[in-house]
Structures are given as C-alpha cells and as structure tokens.
Amino acid sequence: MTRENIQLNDCLACGAQCCRHVAMQTETPRCKREYDNIRWFLMHENVNVFVDDENDWLVEFKTRCSHLRADNTCEIYPDRPSVCRDYPPPGSPCEYGDADPPHKVLFTTAREFEEYLERKGIDWRYKKNEP
Ligand code: SF4
Ligand code: SF4
C-alpha cells in the first residue's frame, strides 16, 4: 500500500485509494475514431477516463485489489508488485493526499465526454467509413 517514506497513518486515513483502481495511459484523442474509442471506454461500468497534470490521457478501471484487507492494509506487503513499491515516485507527494484532485479533467460517462467536445465546438459523431 505504501512507500516506507509515507506515513502509515496517512495511508490508512485515505482508505488505500491507490489500491482501488488501475489506470493505464491511452492515446490523446485527436480524431473522430479516437473520440469514439474514449466514448466506448466510458460506456462500461466502473471505467473512467481522466487527463492528468502532464496532459496525459488515462483510462481508469475502478476495481479493488484482491490483496487489500478490510483494514486497508496489504496482505502481501513484502511481496507487493513494484508498481506498488514505486508509488508515489521518490520526492513526489501522494497525489491522493493533496486537496486538489489527481486529475485535471475527469469523465465518468460517455455523455460527459460528448459535452466536453461540444463545448469545444468539436463534432465527435463517428460514422462508418469516415476517417
Ligand atoms: S498488492 Fe498490496 S499494495 Fe499493491 S495494490 Fe494490492 S493491496 Fe495495494
Ligand atoms: S493513495 Fe497515497 S496516501 Fe493513500 S494509501 Fe496510497 S500511497 Fe497511501
């Protein structure tokens, strides 16, 4: 659940948020086909899409790690994967501990994403055989 330099109390208080999702970078959508792919992600339950502080686009699967105990500790702590050991990166605060959310833009539904594009004047409607 934590790096050793993170105070355990902070981690327990946050509810182990980093153990409750998987986020993977995806391409920055720039055309109708890619807008359509983002819409497709968002049509699934427990899937979000967000833009982080580096303007990277990520797909987030809201799913709890099977090794997270009810008290928010890790049952395989000595053998946890490196992605768990390396979070947060050395010298960086945990993004979930900040008052600010860990994303610049968050979409939880396809309609939210469509409205975001419409506010930018972008026609997102993808039709077969269109580029
Ligand atoms: S392996 Fe442990 S530290 Fe890693 S996500 Fe699961 S519960 Fe959290
Ligand atoms: S999200 Fe941050 S504060 Fe919460 S458990 Fe993970 S490392 Fe600790």
> Residue of the nearest CA to atom 6 in ligand 2?
18
**Burial grade of 2 (CB within 10 A; 0-12, 13-18, 19 or more):** buried
Domain membership of residue 23 (yes or no) is yes
- Mean per-residue pLDDT, 113-129: 92
Is residue 72 lining ligand 2, measured as CB closer than 6 Å? no
Is residue 11 lining ligand 2, measured as CB closer than 6 Å? yes
Name 130's Cβ contacts closer than 8 Å, sequence gap at least 6.
32, 33
Å from CA of 112 to ligand 2 middle: 28
Domain membership of residue 53 (yes or no) is yes
Q: What digits encode the pLDDT tens for the residues 20-52?
A: 999 999 999 999 999 999 999 999 999 999 999
- Please tell me the total count of domains within the chain: 1
Domain that holds residue 14: 8-119
First to last CA, the chain: 44
Domain membership of residue 127 (yes or no) is no
Is residue 97 lining ligand 2, measured as CB closer than 6 Å? yes
Domain membership of residue 130 (yes or no) is no
Domain membership of residue 64 (yes or no) is yes
Domain membership of residue 126 (yes or no) is no
Please give the number of the atom of ligand 1 that sits closest to the Cα of 77. Answer: 2
Residue 12: CB atoms within 10 Å: 14
**Sorting pLDDT into bands at 50, 70 and 90, what band is 130?**
low
CB 85 within 8 A of CB 14: no
Domain membership of residue 129 (yes or no) is no
pTM for the predicted model, two decimal places: 0.85
Domain membership of residue 131 (yes or no) is no
